[in-house]
Amino acid sequence: MLEAYVKKILSSEVYDVAVETPLEAAPFLSTRLNADVSFKREDLQPIHSFKIRGAYNRIVKLREHERERGVLAASAGNHAQGVALAASRLGIQATIVMGLNAPAIKIEAVQRLGAEVVLRGDTYDDAAQHAHALAERNGATLVSPYDDPAVIAGQGTVGVEILNQHEGDPDAIFVPVGGGGLVAGIAAYVKYLKPRVKIIGVEASGSDCLNQALIAGRRVRLRTEGMDLFADGASVAQVGKRPFQIARRHVDQVIVVTTDEICAAIKDIFDDTRAIAEPAGALAVAGLKRYVEDTQGSKRKYVAVISGSNVNFDRLRHISERAEFGERREALLGVSIPEKPGSFRRLCQTLGKRAITEFNYRSNDQRTAQVFLGVQVHDLDERRHVVNMLHKRGYIVDDMTDNEMAKLHVRHMVGGPASSVVGELLYRFEFPERPGALRTFLTEFGVDWNISLFHYRNHGAAWGRVLVGFTALDQDRRALHKYLDRIGYRYWEESANSAYRMFLV
């Protein structure tokens, strides 16, 4: 099987539109990890993504009658731009189906390339279903973003370039995974020529379709309502059939990383290149860092594929907030201090010369006050040391660094209870973000339950995140849950969350 793909890769027609991107040294990250790290800069392609390779290689092979009917694609954005550019160069009409929450920068880029954009659904799979229906209706050729031999072969040219450009063989190549076309193409070529080079796929937590498939021994479909769309360019519910056939035999390992780790990787890439990768584009670097940490391997040669840089500018605020957590360089602590003169000063003296990144205060009663505290630390060990030190000094401390509600909401709304609220149940919601989504969210709630607390921030991300308090007692919980289940949004009850108890009650 590999030999057949290698022949397809070597005969791929990609360089009419794609460029051979550089393999750049990453000196800052290499020094930190005590390794030789290089970035394969696919963000420098004309559409700022590797997707142009596979899209063009597929479309250029169409017969004349197929070209006359045009092409169709479903995409979160980067494949859409690849298809649009390829079709434009070849004089073919292109229609692209994208999710309603696709980043504006990607929608506008596709339209500038002359393709028609149809917005449908909240996920790639919703868009793909509609694209299939359109293709059956009008006879256009559906260009898969990953589950097509010509597409896989086009993406495999990245592997050709890496082996040609790298001095000696790398020990491992880290590749972001969505539907699997890129990792399959690279694995097919590299494993055929250099079987000892490890191919390591990297997926985002909540959209790890290849990881789940390898665990199950077969392709599985993730529940789309539970998928994390932060790395929207790699959020796919099911790995492609052809990519999985290659990956199950020739991908050595799959690493699953968190949102915070992805944000930290975006910062690492910026530090070395002054380029801003999109979340999916930074997956490989996040996985590389985790791999080095887990294996404690030093002085090895690693390559990470920076797959794209199509990121909305307004997402950078959210990314920068979370980057320090991904690097474990910031601790968020809830600290109870005596409500008396000099307490703040003594707490700061206890922390020593450590930088304070955040300091929110809420008086609790006549005896105690609650402080929501951000402290700069070097790593996880120092974070634990700070918590233990405060405990030894007699402070009541709650480490909230991994508390999602605290990071998303509470740090921005330290307050207290409404005096008129008799009972309150607290819930955190996520809904697909798009213009008017918040209004729709509020409309769905109607007037059946009284809202006592509400917090929403637009992060420029694919999901809107809301914290809602309902005027309700414990005995109302079952009825409230039935109501929320009927509405259909993802939710988590946070009534027992320590951040809520410390700063909002």
Answer yes or no: 307 catalytic.
yes
Out of 307, 309, 407, 452, the active site residue is: 307
What is the structure's pLDDT at 365?
61
Answer yes or no: 7 catalytic.
no
Whether 221 and 307 share a structural domain:
yes
- The CATH number assigned to the domain holding 260 equals 3.40.50.1100
Contacts of 56 (CB under 8 A, 6+ apart): 13, 14, 16, 17, 18, 82, 85, 86, 89, 154
pLDDT in tens, the chain (505 residues): 899 999 999 999 999 999 999 999 999 999 999 999 999 999 999 999 999 999 999 999 999 999 999 999 988 678 999 999 999 999 999 999 988 777 677 788 899 999 999 988 876 778 888 999 999 998 999 999 999 999 999 999 999 999 999 999 999 999 999 999 999 999 999 999 999 999 999 999 989 999 999 999 999 999 876 677 788 788 888 999 999 999 999 999 999 999 989 999 999 999 999 999 999 999 999 999 999 988 876 789 999 999 999 887 878 877 887 777 767 778 889 998 887 777 777 888 888 878 777 777 766 666 777 888 888 888 888 899 999 999 998 899 999 998 888 888 888 887 666 555 678 899 998 877 766 667 777 777 766 778 778 888 666 566 778 888 888 889 999 999 988 888 778 899 999 999 898 888 7
Per-position DSSP letters for 70-98, written without gaps between them: -EEEE-SSHHHHHHHHHHHHHT--EEEEE
* Three-state secondary structure call for residue 226: helix
Residue at 405 is within a domain: no
- The CATH number assigned to the domain holding 387 equals 3.30.70
Number of domains in the chain: 4
Out of 51, 106, 301, 407, the active site residue is: 51
Domain of 431, in residue numbers: 411-503
What is the structure's pLDDT at 458?
64
Residue at 335 is within a domain: no
Residue at 8 is within a domain: yes
Residue at 481 is within a domain: yes
Whether 95 and 178 share a structural domain:
no
- Pairing relationship of beta strands 116-119 and 94-98 according to DSSP bridges: parallel
Whether 214 and 348 share a structural domain:
no
Whether 285 and 426 share a structural domain:
no
Residue at 270 is within a domain: yes
What is the structure's pLDDT at 447?
63
Residue at 293 is within a domain: yes
Residue keyed to tokens 């294996």? 295
Whether 349 and 497 share a structural domain:
no
- Kindly report the pTM of this predicted structure: 0.80
Whether 177 and 305 share a structural domain:
yes
Whether 116 and 211 share a structural domain:
no
Domain boundary among 108, 142, 176: 142
Whether 167 and 25 share a structural domain:
yes
Residue 141 contacts residue 72 (beta carbons within 8 Å): yes
Whether 242 and 200 share a structural domain:
yes
Domain boundary among 325, 349, 365: 325
What is the structure's pLDDT at 299?
80
Whether 42 and 55 share a structural domain:
no
